[in-house]
Amino acid sequence: MGFDKEHVENLSRALDEPSWLTERRLEAWGYFEKLELPREKDEPWRYTDLRRLGFDLDAFSPLEPNPHDAGLALERDPKLEERGVVLLPLYNAIQTRPELVQRYLLSQGNPGQDIFTALHTALFSGGTFLYVPRGVDVDIPVEATRTLSQGGVGIFPHTLVVVEEGSSVVFIDRYRSDNLTQPSLSDAGVEIVAGAGSSVTFVAIQEYGRGVWHFGTQRALLGRDASLQSLVVTLGASFSRAQVETTIAGEHGDVQMLGVYFAEADQHFDMRTLQDHAAPRSTSDLLYKGALKDHSHTVYSGLIRVQRNAEKTDAYQANRNLVLSDHAKADSKPELEILNNDVRCTHGSTVGQVDDEQLFYLESRGISHDDAQRLIVEGFFEDVINRVRVEAVRNVLHDAIARKLAG
């Protein structure tokens, strides 16, 4: 088992890809061969020691190439195509809209950033392409669901969302599986390009079963006057690391970055965020809230970066953690990197236990201890969910969290 260069070449041939994409894959493979698993002494992995957790890349092998991408399900409005909206499995988009896809695919980030980014870029297959042309408002949420059904495999889905000037869309990206007796790897990537004056809501919901190691990287680029609401919901998998980066490249760009995570048993969740202000008069507001119990461990590390020319930046970052067990552990590390004096940036984090008086109040009215904890956790997450602009999406989130709380 494991991964080698032959897997990359076989994948490219099986998908009959254009030469430019094969070249990008092989470039990324070159990085992968030189990189090692991160160590705890590496700052971005300070609280997550993959070796101690028992992670081994050689335990997985890639799925056989399948142009039909049987693990992907798309929900769409049939009228969207009449308005120029493109919603396709990524493979089909590469074949039918090659120039459009080439303009944006793999345009963000550096494949040599870390070993998981390199491996994803070399082996990505499956995934979704959504393109919204200029001036089109997509009224109904678009949803893509990725289902992992095999053990011992590595999957590398890639989502590309391009929203042109003055358009709007809501996209729900879901990852699911049953519990797996043989561990599998999910190494996923998301790219979001929000054109000038556009409005994008992007919701990622990770509900993998136990036995999955999930690594997800989401990168967004905002143009002038664009707005993005990003919500990352982490509930499943034995291990999950979500890296969410937003670059505000246009003046008056605005981003709201939200996160909800709930860990139990021995789950390990690691969240990293970047609010990168690269243009003046831009705003960002981040709120990540997590609950954890049993022997679980959560990590949050967030950075607000204000570049030299980004005067009048207004940025806020908050991480709140609710600990439901004496054995659970939450690490939180917000940071600032400010290269311009004319800004307003604040950050903070909290880690706290459940209020015993709240529990006593609920239990004294005949509510069981477990149900009382459930009600407190639901209330703890509610202010994040209420920020989501679309009621249909809020209902999806309530359902997902209810399933988690029900065990």
User: pLDDT for 171-206, tens place per residue?
Assistant: 999 999 999 999 999 999 999 999 999 999 999 999
From residue 155, alpha-carbon distances to 93, 112, 120, 234, 303 in Å are: 19, 19, 9, 18, 29
213 vs 208: CA distance, rounded Å: 9
Mean pLDDT of 58-87: 85
Tell me the pLDDT band of 76, cut-offs 50, 70 and 90. Answer: confident
Same domain, 234 and 381: no
Same domain, 370 and 240: no
User: pLDDT for 384-407, tens place per residue?
Assistant: 999 998 898 899 999 998 888 887
Q: Tell whether the model's pLDDT for residue 41 goes beyond 90.
A: no
376 vs 361: CA distance, rounded Å: 11
Mean pLDDT of 57-75: 84
Q: What percent of the chain has pLDDT above 90?
A: 81
Mean pLDDT of 231-248: 97
In-domain check, residue 393? yes
The whole-number pLDDT of residue 77 equals: 80
In-domain check, residue 292? no
In-domain check, residue 290? no
Same domain, 241 and 364: no
In-domain check, residue 119? yes
Same domain, 75 and 214: yes
- The predicted model scores a pTM of 0.95
Same domain, 219 and 362: no
Show which of 250, 266, 287 is a domain's final residue.
250
User: pLDDT for 88-126, tens place per residue?
Assistant: 999 999 999 999 999 999 999 889 999 999 999 999 998
Same domain, 243 and 361: no
Mean pLDDT of the chain: 94
270 vs 234: CA distance, rounded Å: 10
Same domain, 177 and 47: yes
- Higher-pLDDT residue of 302, 65: 302
Show which of 183, 215, 250 is a domain's final residue.
250
Show which of 250, 270, 291 is a domain's final residue.
250
279 vs 310: CA distance, rounded Å: 5
Among 191, 190, 193, residue whose Cα is nearest residue 175: 190
Q: Look at the chain and report how many structural domains it folds into.
A: 2
In-domain check, residue 315? no
The whole-number pLDDT of residue 70 equals: 67
The whole-number pLDDT of residue 2 equals: 85
In-domain check, residue 152? yes
In-domain check, residue 302? no
Q: What percent of the chain has pLDDT above 70?
A: 100
User: pLDDT for 339-377, tens place per residue?
Assistant: 999 999 999 999 998 877 888 788 888 888 888 888 888
In-domain check, residue 338? no
Q: Tell whether the model's pLDDT for residue 55 goes beyond 90.
A: yes
Q: Tell whether the model's pLDDT for residue 44 goes beyond 80.
A: yes
Question: What is the residue range of 72's domain?
Answer: 5-250
User: pLDDT for 255-292, tens place per residue?
Assistant: 999 999 999 999 999 999 999 999 999 999 999 999 99
